[in-house]
Structure 1
Amino acid sequence: MKYLKLQTVFLFLIVSFTACKKQDVSQPGGNVTVSNEHVILNPYSPLTASILLETSVATKISIRVVGKHEAESDVVKDFDEVSSAHNIPVLGLYADYDNTVELTFKDVSGLVLGSKSYSIKTSALPAATFPAITIDTKNVTLMARGMTLVSYFGYKDNPFPESPFIFDASGDIRWYLDFRTSPVLNNLFFDDGMERLQNGDLYFGDIHSNAIYEIDFLGNIIDTWTFPGYQFHHNVQEKPNGNFLVTVSKQGNSTTEDYIIEIDRSTKQIIRTWDLHASLRYSRQTLTTNPDDWIHVNAVIYDASDNTIIISGRTQALVKLDENNNVVWIMGCHKGWGNSGNGIDLNNFLLQPLNKNDQPITDQDVLDGYTNDPDFEWNWFQHAPLLMPNGNVMVFDNGGDNRNFSGAGQYSRAVEFEINTAHKTVKQIWAYGKERGAATFSGIVSDVDFLSNDNHVIFSPGAVNNITIYGKVIELDYATQNILFEATLTPPQSLYGITFHRTERLTLYL
């Protein structure tokens, strides 16, 4: 979270002061006094505030938003900037609550000079919008730090635009966006969801305005990137160098969701294009009969090890491409491949599955996807691929409505594959979810994340329709598969049976 400059927030105060209320405060003790205080609630991010103040001497400040459930629900941050003019972003307030926010003032060496408490009253959450959140399992000692960002979609016939929110380990919502009064994002539709930039801000693509947006946690738009001639859908990913990879459709084409573009972060220009109609086989109808939405790309990630991208084509496969749009490998059932649009035989790039003893699986029914091997199953209608620190690929294997071309496999998995690019082999290393069956089966959307610092997996089926419609957020110990945290999100109503697109575990302050 960037430490906002004072003059920027005074401008925001002029614009939105009617929606804010100055709170009564007490003077700190010690060797510092405070003056010119303003506490401002932010209209686009109603569970955040800004505290503007001046101190009699230059100080740095620590903040504590006091939680309802002891230290586990506190939000704390030490700011490094030393100044006598302060604008403190306050994150993690509760809705419809008299929140207590404590500031501690320190000198440059860290010596405490005084402290002060503020009471910040917030409004209730918008009615009939957010889901009921049930905490099924919680081990606060072992689960990873932070809260859960939900790219929420659980509404129907509701004027509320897409409203991402963050909930804590107790199931309390501690942050959300409300862009209904925004002149730019009042009809926000970010499709697969929102993620965090390397600088701590949030980013997403909006399908209505065809732009990428960077916002801060206070709801302020920091920057935008447009891409004339293309229609945004599904996913945008930040590369290590700051550029953006974006899944798009080319306007004027009869086919959809079959282009990837790269946008230069600084110049905002499109610097590279991948035309999947050329590199893959448009006429392959193995998993779909839709001639327009033939591949339905729902994700793109970057592999820095060889300067390639990996795309998730929901109705084709996982595919690795180099920067010149050449296929490196294809991970999906072998049935139905042939020549690409530019005349290359794609069968040469199909990955050969191995069993646990590193022997090739030769059963043609397994290769083509009709049956599964005890040691290996193909990915079906997958979402959210990621690269693990060891170079393996993990993916949310949805199963879709047609696993093994039979529809009998009503289960979803988080699954890890080891891929040898030189030998064109793939081996299943780790999986979770099949044993949960219908309880975590989500044929569409959904997410998986690997938390490398904790060696945990977050398995998030986002569109479960098992008697009722709900989504799950399940945190697992990778080594033991013990469940450390599980939450069930049940929306009051749902569009297309979706509760959420994706989730992310993060701390409110970077």
Structure 2
Amino acid sequence: MKSGLRSKPWLIGGILIVVLAIVGGSVYWQQSRATPVKDVARHDNQVEKQGGLSTTTIKKRLQPTLSTTGIKSTQALTKTYTRQLESLSAGAAAKVITNPYQTSPLSALILVKTKAATQVTTEVVGDSKATTITHTIKGYQTSHQIGILGLYAGRTNQVKVTYTTKAGKKTTKTYTIKTAKAPAEIGTNTLKTSTPSKMSLGTGNTKLTFAVSSQGLTYGLDAQGQIRWYATNKISHVFKTLKNGHLLILTKKTTSDSKYNALRITDYYGRVYKQYDFSGVFPTKADPKKTAVNTVIHHDVIEMPNGDFLLTVDDGSAKYVEDTMIQIDHQTGKIKKVIDLKRVLFKSAYTKYDATSRSDGKLDWFHQNSMAYDQKHNLLLVSGRNQSMILGLNYRTGKLKWILGADQKIPASYQKYLIKPAKGTHFQYNGGQHAINIVGESDSGNVLQLEYYDNNVAVTRGDLTTSKQYSIGTEVRLNQKQKTVKTTWSYGKSRGTKNFTNIVGSSYQVGQGNTLIGFGYADSGKRSEFVEVNRKTNQVVFDVNRTNFSAGDWSYRAERLSLYPTY
């Protein structure tokens, strides 16, 4: 009798195909799971062979410590003012303290008691209606510690305080507060244009134009270009409003330090709430057995949704700078995550980089200068000046999603990540750009509306025919699924080489349909210019020239921030 299987060869073939499919599929599935792991390990080894560091070593070298020096000083001063207030009697003359926390000369504190519980409204009388700064303090009290912000420098200020009872009875007192001249190192701020009715000044004109320092004094200007706030502690690059209304700044641990290694949570009065200190002691390029102190944080810090901070930093090696990000726990300062861009981009980007050089010999191949985070879609955007790239990363995995940048010197294996011009459009790719930000999204987060400052300098890649001819503030629409991009607005081209800035700069929406552009390094760093322009009409509604400032302290960014943040 013949076997049933032998009589049905098609069945044998079918079984063999199924078996092979199962076995082959299993092998493929295992390989597809294992390959990324092997690739990651291979990439890690490759980075470390080229002088990079392991994640463990990066964490060890960069781990900050918590400082209590500023906090203790703040607490001591607060206790002093509380005791002084307690000693006052209701109806007695108020006690006025200028610069109560010693680093904010254009602030004051008024201590006073009222017989009835009252709500307080303050008014710093300005030179015009648009420069008069008003603020109402929530709640009704009989014991008042009234904070005053927005005083003029170098004059006797008139400050009106209105006390309103729950029954609506108002009593107004006028206090005179004298301030010293602003430091000469701030330079000269010359008003070119001001149309306050079309500016975004906020409720009570509390929003100022802040000139964020590169390495020096950060200050705020009113609608007439007058200084209404500055800090005496030097600040470098980082000056951010946090969700709770506090400020995040990068400053020095001590005034005698040459490097900026204190990340401080403070406010416009100068009170210190927290401080993360970094050592910055890294091996030198000339002799890795020797060390030198470096500034650890370069250019940007953003607050994450859970309150942690994401920092752009050096990796701590003897070879590379400004190509790594770390997330630190906002409570403890512990480093929770490391993203080393050498492990994200192609090897030739950092092994064959020669577009710029540094006096210490280290490679600044990426030069990250700004970040933006979209929590809903777990998307991190990173701007790198020296690659003329904006990267889209999956923040959880650290994997690359797309590259906004010209296609020169991009290996074939990375071409799939490139964003192309939308069909039928011309797109000027970013060159040496700064200040990336997400201003809108649609199509479930697939389409992003981005703003950034395009320095328009072809560092590693870009259009050499237009490079260095002008710089612009710009907005683009980027489709992540189709990997296409289209310019929707820009301003600055008409200003030509006069406002070209080889480094630094910013471009931020500020309300009223306006964008504030900081041409920070105009005239080769001798001038900074702050321009508020309407995106629909391109009408300039505010324009200030800054000159005669300390060498190297050109304005890193121009930001429109409120002295009294709401939260």
2:493 equivalent to 1:434: yes
Alignment correspondent of 1:321: 393
Shift in Å, 1:265: 2.3
Q: 1:167 to 1:241 in 2, by over 3 A?
A: same
Alignment correspondent of 2:544: 487
One-letter code aligned to 1:462? G
2:373 equivalent to 1:302: yes
Q: Distance in 1 between matches of 2:468 and 2:562?
A: 36
Q: Is the 8 A contact 1:150 1:504 kept in 2?
A: yes
Q: Distance in 2 between matches of 1:404 and 1:479?
A: 27
Shift in Å, 1:457: 0.8
Alignment correspondent of 1:351: 419
DSSP 3-state at the match of 2:301: strand
Q: Distance in 2 between matches of 1:287 and 1:405?
A: 17
Shift in Å, 1:64: 0.6
DSSP 3-state at the match of 1:436: helix
Q: Distance in 2 between matches of 1:202 and 1:416?
A: 27
Alignment correspondent of 2:187: 131
Alignment correspondent of 1:288: 355
Question: Aligned-residue CA RMSD in angstroms?
Answer: 2.7
One-letter code aligned to 1:348? K
Within-5 A mapping of 1:187-202: 188-190=234-236, 192-202=237-247
2:55 equivalent to 1:55: no
Unaligned runs of 5+ in 2: 1-73, 202-206, 253-258, 283-295, 442-447
1:274 aligned to 339, 346, 361, which one? 339
One-letter code aligned to 2:187? P
Q: Distance in 1 between matches of 2:394 and 2:488?
A: 25
Shift in Å, 1:294: 0.7
Q: 1:255 to 1:492 in 2, by over 3 A?
A: closer
Q: Is the 8 A contact 1:102 1:117 kept in 2?
A: yes
Q: Distance in 2 between matches of 1:380 and 1:401?
A: 5
Greater helix content = 2
2:213 equivalent to 1:152: yes
DSSP 3-state at the match of 1:298: strand
Q: Distance in 2 between matches of 1:303 and 1:314?
A: 21
Q: Is the 8 A contact 1:401 1:443 kept in 2?
A: no
Q: Distance in 1 between matches of 2:91 and 2:560?
A: 36
Question: Among the aligned pairs, what percent are the same residue?
Answer: 29
Shift in Å, 1:51: 0.7
Shift in Å, 1:236: 0.6
One-letter code aligned to 2:355? T
One-letter code aligned to 1:140? P
One-letter code aligned to 1:251? G
One-letter code aligned to 1:108? K
Alignment correspondent of 1:92: 150
Shift in Å, 1:486: 1.1
Q: For each residue in 1:410-446, what CA deviation from the matched residue of structure 2 results, as whole angstroms up to 9, or x when unmatched?
A: 2001121211111111122211111110222111011
2:184 equivalent to 1:140: no
2:439 aligned to 367, 385, 388, which one? 388
Shift in Å, 1:129: 1.2
Shift in Å, 1:112: 2.8
Q: Distance in 2 between matches of 1:10 and 1:258?
A: 41
Within-5 A mapping of 1:80-229: 80-108=138-166, 111-126=168-183, 128-145=184-201, 146-153=207-214, 162-179=216-233, 188-190=234-236, 192-206=237-251, 208=259, 210-226=261-277
Q: Distance in 2 between matches of 1:412 and 1:276?
A: 26
Unaligned runs of 5+ in 1: 1-5, 23-31, 154-160, 180-187, 340-344, 362-374
Q: 1:7 to 1:252 in 2, by over 3 A?
A: closer
Alignment correspondent of 2:55: none
Q: Is the 8 A contact 2:371 2:437 kept in 1?
A: no
Paired residue total = 447
Alignment correspondent of 1:312: 383
One-letter code aligned to 1:104? T
Q: 1:108 to 1:307 in 2, by over 3 A?
A: farther
Shift in Å, 1:7: 8.3
Q: Distance in 1 between matches of 2:333 and 2:354?
A: 36
Q: 1:46 to 1:206 in 2, by over 3 A?
A: closer
State the TM-score, normalized to the length of structure 1.
Answer: 0.81
Q: Distance in 1 between matches of 2:487 and 2:82?
A: 57
State the TM-score, normalized to the length of structure 2.
Answer: 0.74
Q: Distance in 2 between matches of 1:294 and 1:7?
A: 43
Specify the structure having the higher radius of gyration (Cα): 2
Q: 1:133 to 1:477 in 2, by over 3 A?
A: same
